Homo-oligomer: A and B are copies of this chain.
Amino acid sequence: MTTLDSDESAESYFGTQLPPPTLDQDIAGVRSFVHRQRGLNRKVVLVTSGGTTVPLELNVVRFLDNFSAGTRGATSAEYFLKAGYAVIFMHRQFSLQPFSRHYSHSTNPFLDFLEIEPNPDKSSAPPNITVTRSERDGLLDVLTAYKSVQQSGLLHTLTFVNVNEYLWLLRAVSQELSVLGRSVLYYLAAAVSDFFLPRQKMSEHKIQSGKGSLLIEMDQVPKILKPMIDEWSPDGFVVSFKLETDPALLVPKSRAALERYGHHLVIGNDLHRRKHEVVFVSREHQGTAARDVGINWLRISGDAVNARGHPKEIEEDIVAELTKRHQAWIEGPRS
């Protein structure tokens, strides 16, 4: 594996790649959601979540993907809702979602805790289906929160699969959100591919294996944070994530991202320790030089994470800290 030299700007990306067919419809939905929240003077967070694919064929059979179940995004979205935010949850199709995430098909299949209850009066009426007693309390909390969010209309969901859909959506949504000024928080937890295969280089049909090995050469995805912060939504509070597997790279890479884009905060996390610890890398003071960077570790104990009954989720503390920092930004001096 090697990387070659190339330069891709966001402008040239959107000038050469096609928008997804559902974009206009998605924008209309976001616009009316934003309008409603603005009328209520409510803070809004955009949570992006899950990995993006890079299709290798136009009739896509094979694709490159990024590892992400969507746990960070789905969990955080719940805590943002609890904290009073309206949430736009922009996620990879079939990745975890707030509330339903507690019941994955594999580790906690919901069919296992449903019971068929014959009708008590033995009439010809069909039997009831109820939730097993042992699961009831846990599910009741989740279900109550879910129904309350549904009713209040505080959660708006958007779906992407490939990196092209993600990029077009992110641009459009941040442009829509910009009317909220400082009241909008960007929580960019999706695992976005650094590379893509331009339409122009894709083969139409499934790549035939024939004899031998496969060679793929991809282009670099444009650094979308740059125009987002400079042009599309300059007043928003922007939090990006950095995932690394080499602990030695975590802080340097997070710091480099912060310096490069000049946004508010990078949350660094190591693949193997991401449920126990993250690091907040931020500018100490608005407008200060890059060397005045704050490094704050946020840790919870392994015991708390694995506690039976009520396990602690690190996203609770992440969101609590962000809520404070966002509020300080809203109330802070205007430049």
Please report A residues at the B interface, Cβ cutoff 8 Å: 1-7, 53, 56-57, 59-67, 69, 93-94, 96-97, 99-100, 103-106, 109-111, 114, 116, 126-131, 136-137, 139-140, 142-144, 146-147, 159, 191, 193-195, 201, 203-220, 243-246, 249, 271-272
Contacts and interface: CB of A to CB of B under 8 A. Distances in A.
A110 B216 CA distance: 40
A96 B96 CA distance: 14
Contacts of A249: 205
A211 B146 contact: no
The listed residue with most B CB atoms (<10 A of its CB), out of A53, A62, A69, A195, is A62
B61 A3 contact: no
A266 B131 CA distance: 43
A140 B111 contact: no
B116 A146 contact: no
Contact of A195 (B60, B67, B96, B214): B214
Contact of A64 (B62, B97, B211): B62
Given A215-B2, A243-B61, A100 B111 contact: yes
Contact of A213 (B64, B96, B217, B243): B217
A133 to B, nearest CB: 9
**Copies in the assembly, this chain:** 2
A3 to B, nearest CB: 4
A62 B65 contact: yes
Contact of A3 (B1, B100, B106, B212): B212
Given A105-B94, A218-B214, A63 B64 contact: yes
Contact of A211 (B63, B103, B220, B271): B220
Given A62-B65, A105-B97, A243-B61, A116 B144 contact: yes
**Shortest 5 CB-CB distances between A and B: which pairs?**
A194-B209, A59-B245, A129-B131, A3-B212, A205-B246
A216 B127 contact: no
Given A100-B111, A126-B140, A245 B1 contact: no
B245 A57 contact: yes
Contacts of A59: 245-246, 271-272
A217 B213 CA distance: 7
Given A69-B94, A130-B131, 7 more contacts: A56-B64, A59-B246, A114-B143, A128-B136, A130-B130, A206-B246, A214-B220
Given A62-B64, A140-B126, A243-B61, A3 B215 contact: yes
Contacts of A106: 93-94, 97, 159
Contacts of A143: 111, 114, 116, 129
A64 B65 contact: yes
A116 B142 CA distance: 11
Nearest to A91: B106
Contacts of A110: 100, 103, 110
A271 B250 CA distance: 41
A41 to B, nearest CB: 29
A38 to B, nearest CB: 28
A143 B218 CA distance: 46
